[in-house]
Amino acid sequence: MLNTASEMAQAKNGDTVLVNYIGKLDDGTEFYNSAGKEPLKFTIGKEEVIVGFEEAVIGMNAGETKTVRVTADKAYGHVRKELQSVISRQRFPSHITPEVGQILQVTGNNGQHIFIRVIEVTDADVSVDGNHPLAGKDLTYDIHLIEILVADTK
C-alpha cells in the first residue's frame, strides 16, 4: 500500500512519484506534453525512466516545478551506428510498403523483438535505424512533481 508523503518530504530513492512534464528539444520543439493526460508514475531507483529525468526528480518537493537539461548520455544515449543498416528492397518483406518514419518490429538473431524506424527509402534499398528516435539529442524537461508516494512500512 502507498501513502502520501508529508508535505516537506523530498523525493528520494525508493519513492514512487507522480509527475507532469513537458519534454523539449534544443530548438524548442515539444516531443511530449503530459497536459490533459494521466501523470507519469514511477519509482525512483527502478530505472523506469531515463537516468537524467530520475536524477532531476530526486530532492524535489511535492508541488515543486523545475526545468532541467538532460544530456544525451543521461537520456537515450548517443546514436549507435551499429543499430543502423541498409536492407536491399529484394530482401525486404513483399507485404510491407516501407515509408520514412514507419516503425517496424523485427526479430533479432537472438530471438528478441526489436523496433526499427525506416529513415530512407530508395528503389533499391531501405535504410533503417534501431536507435531510439531521441538518441543523440540533449533534452530539456519542465517537471512538476505532483505527489510523492512512499511504501507503507506496516
- Per DSSP (E only), the strands in 11-83 are 16-24, 30-33, 40-43, 65-70
Q: Annotate 88-108 with DSSP letters as a single string.
A: ETTTS-TT----TT-EEEEE-
The fold of 2-76+134-151 is Chitinase A; domain 3 (3.10.50)
**CB 144 within 8 Å of CB 61:** no
Q: What percent of the chain has pLDDT over 70?
A: 92
Rounded-to-integer distance, Cα 111 and Cα 30, Å: 35
- Tell me the pLDDT tens digit for each residue of 34-59: 999 999 999 999 999 999 999 999 99
CA distances from 4 to 17, 57, 153 (A): 10, 16, 13
In CATH terms, is domain 81-129 a member of 3.40.50.2300? no
pLDDT tens by residue, 63-107: 999 999 999 999 999 999 999 999 999 888 888 899 999 999 888
Residue type, 58: I
pLDDT of residue 151: 56
State the pLDDT at residue 39: 96
Which class for 123: exposed (0-12), middle (13-18), buried (19 or more C-beta within 10 A)? Answer: exposed
Residues in the chain: 154
Query: What is the spatial distance between Cα 150 and Cα 6, in angstroms, rounded to a whole number?
Result: 10
Which residues make Cβ contacts (< 8 Å) with residue 8, sequence separation at least 6? Answer: 61
**Residue in the block written with cell 530513492:** 13
The ranges assigned to domains in the chain are 2-76+134-151, 81-129
